[in-house]
């Protein structure tokens, strides 16, 4: 059956301007890190993408290494884009990244001009696109000169292979240097993608201030801390959970007794707000003026509904913020 997007797709979603740019992003964006590779049924991925767009989620975030295996998320997305979303291409923000290992040898990793431009060419081919809306450097390279990496980002914009460029996982001081170089080159940094959640607040110690001062947007990944800020672990670690399976992304030792108790207390506060814990956690990240969007992952349509349902109660009183801070400080 030919997909036709919901006519109501823009009626409930909120869009925020990305830094000082002309681009607006939905406050909830969908990341294709997991659940879109070859290990997932393509029809499940298709239904997730369709439902997300019907909810007004116009931003789909990928990277060259997303899968598993690496590259497969882009390939599968490209197929679904071709079969379902081609008429809606100009309503979508499609981003990808390069910075982690993609192929053997010295040219398939990090931040050289050779790697970044080659990687983007491969990504465009996998997705069947002439350009991406945003191309990120995925992580800092301690050996390649920062100027070389930023010049490569500037170059792909001038080639027409990306409309905007961004950074991911850059600490505050290095982000400032990269932003300054991009400004001098004439291709401003649009956005930064850091890890940020109630349980990982490092960006508050400087990065958010840099982004706000420089007019750079921010999209937070892992805002639910790998599932820790959901109702999944309220009663301990379920046998079928990510933490119990030995996942490299969430290990049992991360779920300490004090953290689990804090999560339970946060859940009580969420219930008082008539929200799920996951919804409160997303709203809490978005409370920061510097944050443009939260980047969620999803394996079920209900998770998309929950995330967008957060919009019904995005704001916090000073008392609620103080209560949350006190709970988070209790974690040992």
What pLDDT sits at residue 35?
87
What pLDDT sits at residue 255?
78
List, for the chain, all residue ranges whose pLDDT scores fall below the cut of 70: 236, 238-253
Strands 15-17 and 189-193: unpaired
In a domain, 67, yes or no: yes
- C-alpha distance across the termini of the chain, in Å: 53
In a domain, 186, yes or no: yes
What pLDDT sits at residue 110?
98
CATH of the domain at 159: 3.20.20.100
C-alpha angle 215/217/220, rounded to 5°? 145
What pLDDT sits at residue 247?
58
Please give the structure tokens belonging to residue 268.
């009580």
Q: Which helix (H) or strand (E) holds 16?
A: strand 15-17
In a domain, 268, yes or no: no
Q: Which residue has the tokens 């490209």?
A: 78
In a domain, 61, yes or no: yes
Q: Which domain holds residue 302?
A: 15-231+276-314
Number of structural domains found in the chain = 1
Rg (CA), the chain: 19
CA-based torsion, 177, 21, 297, 94: positive or negative: negative
What pLDDT sits at residue 238?
67
- Spatial separation of the C-alpha atoms in residues 260 and 247, rounded to whole Å: 18
Query: How many angstroms from the chain centroid is the CA of residue 62?
Result: 9
Q: Coil, strand, or helix at residue 200?
A: strand
In a domain, 325, yes or no: no
In a domain, 261, yes or no: no
- Spatial separation of the C-alpha atoms in residues 81 and 89, rounded to whole Å: 8
In a domain, 244, yes or no: no
What pLDDT sits at residue 232?
87
- Spatial separation of the C-alpha atoms in residues 292 and 232, rounded to whole Å: 27
Tens digits of per-residue pLDDT, 276-292? Answer: 999 999 999 999 999 99
Tens digits of per-residue pLDDT, 108-130? Answer: 999 999 999 999 999 999 999 99
Crossing angle of helices 72-80 and 113-127, in 10° steps, is 40
What pLDDT sits at residue 95?
98
In a domain, 99, yes or no: yes
Strands 15-17 and 24-26: antiparallel
- Which of these, 41, 28, 164, 154, lies nearest to 95 by C-alpha position? 164
What pLDDT sits at residue 48?
97
């Amino acid at each position: 059956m030919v997909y036709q997007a919901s006519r109501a797709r823009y009626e409930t979603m909120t869009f925020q301007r990305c830094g000082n740019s002309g681009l607006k992003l939905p406050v909830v964006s969908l990341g294709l890190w997991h659940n879109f590779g070859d290990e997932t049924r393509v029809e499940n991925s298709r239904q997730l993408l369709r439902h997300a767009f019907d909810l007004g989620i116009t931003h789909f975030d990928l990277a060259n290494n997303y899968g598993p295996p690496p590259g497969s998320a882009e390939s599968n997305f490209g197929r679904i884009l071709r079969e379902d979303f081609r008429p809606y291409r100009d309503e979508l923000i499609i981003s990808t990244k390069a910075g982690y290992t993609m192929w053997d040898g010295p040219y398939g990793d990090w931040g050289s001009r050779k790697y970044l431009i080659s990687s983007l060419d491969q990504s465009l081919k996998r997705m069947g696109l002439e350009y991406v809306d945003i191309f990120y450097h995925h992580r800092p390279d301690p050996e390649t000169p920062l100027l070389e990496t930023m010049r490569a980002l500037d170059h792909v914009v001038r080639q027409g292979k990306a409309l905007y460029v961004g950074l991911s996982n850059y600490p505050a001081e290095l982000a400032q240097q990269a932003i300054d170089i991009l400004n001098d080159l004439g291709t401003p940094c649009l956005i930064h993608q850091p890890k940020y959640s109630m349980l990982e607040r490092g960006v508050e110690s400087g990065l958010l201030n840099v982004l706000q001062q420089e007019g750079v947007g921010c999209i937070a990944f892992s805002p639910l801390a790998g599932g820790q800020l959901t109702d999944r672990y309220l009663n301990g670690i379920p046998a079928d959970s990510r933490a119990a399976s030995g996942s490299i992304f969430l290990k049992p030792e991360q779920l300490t007794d004090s953290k689990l108790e804090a999560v339970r207390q946060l859940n009580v506060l969420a219930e008082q707000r008539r929200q799920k814990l996951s919804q409160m956690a997303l709203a809490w990240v978005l409370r920061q003026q510097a944050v443009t969007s939260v980047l969620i992952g999803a394996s079920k349509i209900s998770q998309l509904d929950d995330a967008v349902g957060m919009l019904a109660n995005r704001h916090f009183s000073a008392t609620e913020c103080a209560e949350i801070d006190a709970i988070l400080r209790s974690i040992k």
